[in-house]
Structure formats: structure tokens, C-alpha cells
Structure 1
Amino acid sequence: MKIAFKSLVWLLCWSTVLPIRGQQNIQFTQYVFNSMSVNPAYAGYMEELFAQLGLRSQWIDLEGAPQTGLLSLDGLLDLYGARRHGGGIQVMADELGPQTATSAYLNYAYRLRLDREDTQRLSFGLGAGVTRYSLDGTKITVLDDGDQALPTGKISNFVPDIRFGIYYHNARWYAGASIMDLLSGGSSDNLFRWDQTTTDRIRRRRHLYLIGGLLVDLNESVKLRPSVLYKDDFKGPPSLDLNAMAIFSDRLWLGGGIRTGVSAFRRDYQRFTGDRLSGLNAISFVMQVFATDRLRIGYSYDYMLSRLNGLQNGSHEVTLGVTLGRPLDRVKCYF
């Protein structure tokens, strides 16, 4: 079988050689500006109604490469009360060659006040939603007709999902943990199937996310915000993002980071590949500008350092955030 989309060649090669039943979740380089994308307990953190649009074009010039869009809205459900309840809506669409996944989630966060001055909170979050997975067989080119493992037209199915998270923050640091795709377990009786073929392999796997960060005052007008994101699907190589942003006069954020695999845990795939999938993956440049007290614009670029380096021209990501209410200092969203 010959796949016209180069990215699918990579995916299908690994899926036939390795015992993989899913794929890594979508990840935005600018997750630092809206952590609800990786943790439902973040909903309502800024204590104002906040809307964000994110567009990511990955691996430019690689045919069939991922294209992703995210639209989210979150805020407090009791703005004029104890501010204990946060809520959020998240809609995401992702396309990879003939494969698409469109999801919608409702997120809720219960926010515990930990001190009288309300300088620190501990939040517990729960998200529930559904994903529509589709595969367009007309976009797959084969040498031999009649392959029963491939659909002849477009097929799709809906899969429900839940996610859970915990998030702590104070004025200087934050930490959070979440489990995503809780209903996407690895047992054979819980596999998503289009039909009786093996195309169920494209379903996402259960993921663990760990996030954390600090805020350091360098002087009166400049702050430093280092952060870390750890992502693990318990089968493939874990991913680690290390980022640092300089904040100038609460208006301009400039920084970057590195994304690398982690080989601290022995996984089944290493029997076939050694540690070749656990090296340095990409470096990124990130910028965000507060155009007004209500409007923020972000841009990031990822430069690939993996074996895909010569096959594509990096990844671009643009975000647009709008505060739909009375702007507060918290809207600066250091965390």
C-alpha cells in the first residue's frame, strides 16, 4: 500500500512495527496562555469571561501535515459570589491527511479558597465531551484495489470522553496535574472500531499532563516566567516542554522553549527503536502582545530538530484572546 500523504507513511510504518493503539494528543506551543487546553481545573482562573482562538499549522510544506483549530470560552459561574465555580467550553478540530477529529467539551472547576486574603486557590476540574472521528478513504491512494482494511468512502463515529484535573496557584508559582481521554483505555474491549478492520488505531490514548511554573521579578518593569509541561501516554516516549518568558511592563511577552522526549521509563517501543524516539524534538520562539487591556495576540514558531527537519519548514501557531468583561489585573494571566 502506498499512501500519498508523507506524514501518514511515518504514522503507518510505526503503527505496523510497534504495538501502538493510539496517537499523542494535540499540543499547542502556546498552552501557557490558556492552560484549560491541558487541564479542566484551569477553567475560571482569570475570574473574567475570556475567549480564545488558536490556529496551528504543523510541519509546513509536508503534504497532509496536521492542521488544528481551537476555540474556547471560560469564566466564573459565580462572579459576584465566592468565586468558587469556574466553567468553560472548548471546541477543537484537527486534520491529519484523510483523518479528522472534531471535539467539544464542557469543563467545570470547583475552586477552594485556601487563605483569608485569597492569594491562593486549589481547583478540581472535570470535563465531559464527545469527539467525532472521521476517515476519508477517497484521500488514500493504493497500488492494489480491494484492500479490505481501508474504507472506500468517508466513515465516522462519535466517541464520548471525560477528563479530570487539579490545579493550585498563588501569586508566585503554580502546579497542576490532569488525566485526559479517560475513556480511551488500552484494553481490547474498549477499542474504538470503525468496522471490523484495524483502523481503530487512530484513536487518541489516555494521557497524563503535569504543568508548573514560577514568576520572578527581575526589576520593576521586567518579570521572568519559566514553565514546564510533561505529557505521557504511557506507551510512546513521554514529552517534556521547558519554556521561559520575559514579561515587559505587563504588555509584551517574549521567550521560547525546547521540546524533548524523556527516556526515564522503559517502554515497549524501545525494544524496536532503542532511544531514537526520545531525543530533542524542537525549539520554539513565543511572543504575546497585549494590544489593549482586553485584547491579546500571540504567535509562536517551532523549529524541528528531529528526523523530520529536512522534510518540512517548521510549525506556526497564532492565538487571539479577548476579555469579555471589565478588565482586571488578573487578566494579565501570569499563570
Structure 2
Amino acid sequence: MKKIYIQKYYLILIIGLILSFQFEVKAQQRPIFSQYMFNGLVLNPAYAGNQPQLSISFLHRDQWVNVEGAPKTNTLIAHTALKDRPVGLGLLISRDKIGVHDDYSIYGSYAYKLNIGIGTLSLGLQAGFNYMASDFRKLSTIDQNDALFAGSVSRFSPNFGTGAFFSNNTTYAGISIPYLINNKVYKKEDFVSEAKEARYYFVTGGHVFTVSPTLKIKPSALIRVQEGQPMGVDLNTNVFLQEVLNIGLSYRSGDAATLLFELLLNKHLSMGYAYDHTLSQIRNYTDGTHEFMLTYRRSLGKGPCHAYF
């Protein structure tokens, strides 16, 4: 039992250091979502108001189940198109918790839409801030006098980003840099880390194929580039049945294979779930990742509320 406890302690400590401080290792700093293909605003501010509707989603992600101190993320995603104006507005509110660290963020988005004949091109901006608080007093350290893990710290970090998003009835493609400022990650009396937030670059695309009036298939992909890290690729396939049930499979390079579904409960409300089967070495410590989503949509025009992207 003691050996297992020690292994878990060091695992949590290593994860916390990698995700939060970065030191010589650069690692994932922003939350990753599995149902982003239906919440494009988490990747690209130009997605705001993509459909003529109001959309409000709540998403909960429980990453690496059974690993003490593993990331847990709660996110509110809201966006809408403005009637009779080529403008979309969006809002992201999130809390990302890992170990003794809490990261709160609020970002607003603005997208301007241009009709270019073959579809709509949206140009977007987002701005907001992250507030990170770390309480090291909750840690059980080997050296009680280690200044690095004493007391608590907090940091306020404003940021902004931009993106472009093209779409028509069957196809979409986007490119974005949601966070442009490389804020310092950590600063404390007697200790200053040179670690900084890394920029993310996202490229997305997908197409809806109509097989029959009751069956549609949507392959899609995401290229994720983080400064200082190898390029990551997501490959996805979603099958829509009767425009009521969506079943999907995803592969995230070097990280996870995902099974997901979304069920339209009525013309306004849908629920989604995704399970990530971990492929990296941490799979020896966890049963995977669960992600839950609840979405409310209300049409602003004559079109349906449910969208394929």
C-alpha cells in the first residue's frame, strides 16, 4: 500500500509540474475537449454565431479517472447570431482544476460574416483573461522548508486571439490562434520561472455527405500545433441518423481513441457524451476520460436548430 501511495504521489506531482510550470518540458496548457466539433467556439472565435440560432452548452470533462488530482474542467459555451446583422457574439466561461491549481477564464468573442458566394467567411476576435490560483499548502512535501511549495500564489493574465471560419450547408474549414500573448506562468517571492504560456494554432475542416434522407456522414479533422510541441492530429467520423442521433469515433494522435454520441431530446435540447480511451503511458493509471455535454438551441429564423457543425 505504501509503495502504491508513493507512486501516486509522484505521479500527481509530475503531472502538476508539467501542466502548470513547464520548466524544461513544454506540455499541454489549455484544456482539450473531445466534442469540440459541436462547440467550435472553444477553438475559434470566428465560429460565434455560425448558425442563425442561440446556442448555450454546458460541458464537464473528467480527465484520467482514478488519478488523484487529475484535470477536471467545467465550461459554459454560449454564442448567437444577431438578427439582420452579419455579426456573431460568443462567451466562454471555464474552470480548469488540476491538483492544487485552479484556472478560471472568461473570454468574449466577436465575429463578422462576409458572404463570398460559395459560403460565409467569418473573421473573429476574442479577448478576456485567466485567473490562476495555486494553494501549495494542500501538498504533502518531503522538504517542509521548500520555498517553491510554500503558501499560495495567484496570477491574472489577460489575453486575446483571432481566427477565420468558412462554412456553407455541407462544408466548413477554419484556422485560429485563440491566445496570442505568451504570459508568464509562475512568479513568486524568491522564485521566478521563465516558463511562459505557449501559443496554439488550430486548423479544422469537415464535410457532410448525404447517403440517404435519414443518413448523413461527416468526416472531419483537426490539426493542433503548440509551440515547442510536436504537431497533433485528430481524425473524426460522425454518423447522423434521422437527424436525431449522432454517433462518432475519433482518434487523437498519441493520446486517445474516443467514442461519442449526441442525442437530440427535442427541437431545442440535446445531450452528448464522449469517452476517451487513453493510449499514452498514463493508461496504466487510469480508466480513461469522461466528457458530458448539455446544449440548448433556439432558432432565430426559419431554419432548424440542430446543426452538423
Do these two structures clear the TM 0.5 threshold for a shared fold by scoring above it?
A: yes
Out of 160, 164, 173, the position equivalent to 2:171 is: 173
1:290 is aligned to 2:259: no
Aligned: 1:12 with 2:17: yes
Change (3 A) 1:92 1:15: closer
- Are residues 14 and 108 of structure 1, via their aligned partners in 2, closer, same or farther at CA, if it must alter by over 3 Å? closer
CA distance in 2, matches of 1:302, 1:334: 21
Amino acid at match of 1:288: E
Measure, in 1, the Cα distance between the counterparts of 2:20 and 2:187: 17
Q: Aligned partners of 1:246, 1:327: CA distance in 2, in Å?
A: 26
Q: In structure 1, what is the equivalent of residue 3 of structure 2?
A: none
Residue in 2 that maps onto 1:197: 191
- Offset at residue 2 of structure 1 (A): 9.6
Is residue 53 from structure 1 mapped to residue 27 from structure 2 by the alignment? no
User: Is the 1:285–1:300 Cα contact (8 Å) retained in structure 2?
Assistant: yes
Match among 307, 311, 318 for residue 292 of structure 2: 318
What's 1:235 paired with? Answer: 228
Cα gap change, 1:174/1:16 in structure 2, threshold over 3 Å: closer, same or farther? closer
- Contact 1:6–1:63 (8 Å) recurs in 2: no
Q: Which residue identity lines up with residue 133 of structure 2 in the other structure? A: S
Q: What SS does the aligned partner of 2:13 have? A: helix
Q: Is the 8 A contact 1:3 1:9 kept in 2?
A: no
Could you say which residue in structure 2 is the equivalent of 1:27? 32
CA–CA distance in 2 between the matches of 1:247 and 1:235? 37
**Pairs within 5 Å for 1:140-179:** 140-152=139-151, 154-179=152-177
Contact 2:18 2:25 in 1 (8 A): no
1:313 alignment partner, SS class: coil
The answer to whether the 8 A contact 2:258-2:277 is kept is: yes
CA distance in 1, matches of 2:136, 2:146: 11
Aligned Cα RMSD in Å?
2.3
State how far apart, in whole Å, the 1-side matches of 2:303 and 2:115 are: 19
Contact 2:59 2:292 survives alignment (8 Å): yes
Is contact 1:51-1:74 (8 Å) kept? yes
- Are 2:71 and 2:98, in contact at CA under 8 Å, matched by a contact in 1? yes
**Does 2:214 match 1:221?**
yes
| Structure with more of its chain in strand, by fraction | 2
CA distance in 2, matches of 1:52, 1:320: 6
The residue number in structure 2 matching 1:85 is 87
Q: For the structure 1 residues 237 and 140, does the alpha-carbon distance in structure 2 shift closer, same or farther, using more than 3 Å as the test? A: farther
1:277-303 CA deviation, whole Å, 9 max, x = no partner?
Answer: xxx321100100110110010000000
Match of 2:112 in 1: 110
Mind listing any 5+ residue stretches in structure 1 that lack a counterpart? 185-189, 261-279
Q: Identical aligned pairs, as a percentage? A: 29
Matched residue count: 303
With over 3 angstroms needed to count, the CA separation of the structure-2 counterparts of 1:64 and 1:289, relative to structure 1, is: same
Q: Which moved more, 1:137-146 or 1:55-64?
A: 137-146
Cα 1:14–1:106 shift into 2, 3 Å: closer
- Using the TM superposition, name which of 6-15 and 84-93 deviates more: 6-15
**Offset, 1:18:** 6.8
SS at structure 2 position matched to 1:308: helix
Which amino acid in 1 is paired with 2:191?
A: T
Opposite residue 215 of structure 2, the aligned amino acid is V
In 1: Cα distance, 2:289 partner to 2:157 partner: 29
**1:207-227 superposed Cα distances (whole Å, 9 cap, x missing partner):** 101110010011121000111
Superposed CA offset, 1:161-190 (max 9, x none): 001010001122111000022112xxxxx5
Under a length normalisation based on structure 2, what TM-score does the superposition of the two structures give? 0.91
Q: Which residue of 2 aligns with 1:274?
A: none
Kindly indicate whether the alpha-carbon contact (under 8 Å) linking 2:48 and 2:90 is maintained by their aligned counterparts in 1.
Answer: yes
Deviation at 1:46, TM superposition (A): 1.5
Q: Name the CA distance, whole Å, in 1 between partners of 2:22 and 2:50.
A: 43
Judging changes above 3 Å, is the alpha-carbon distance between structure 1 residues 5 and 103 closer, same or farther for their aligned structure 2 residues?
Answer: farther
| Distance in 2 separating the partners of 1:181 and 1:13 | 19
Q: Structure 1 residues 225, 124: closer, same or farther in 2, change over 3 A?
A: same
| Residue in 1 that maps onto 2:131 | 132
TM-score, normalised to structure 1's length?
Answer: 0.84
Relative distance call for 1:19 and 1:328 in structure 2 (3 A) is farther
| Structure 2 SS opposite 1:52 | strand
Quote the offset at 1:239 in angstroms: 1.7
2:191 is paired with a residue whose SS is: coil
Counterpart in the other structure of 1:273: none
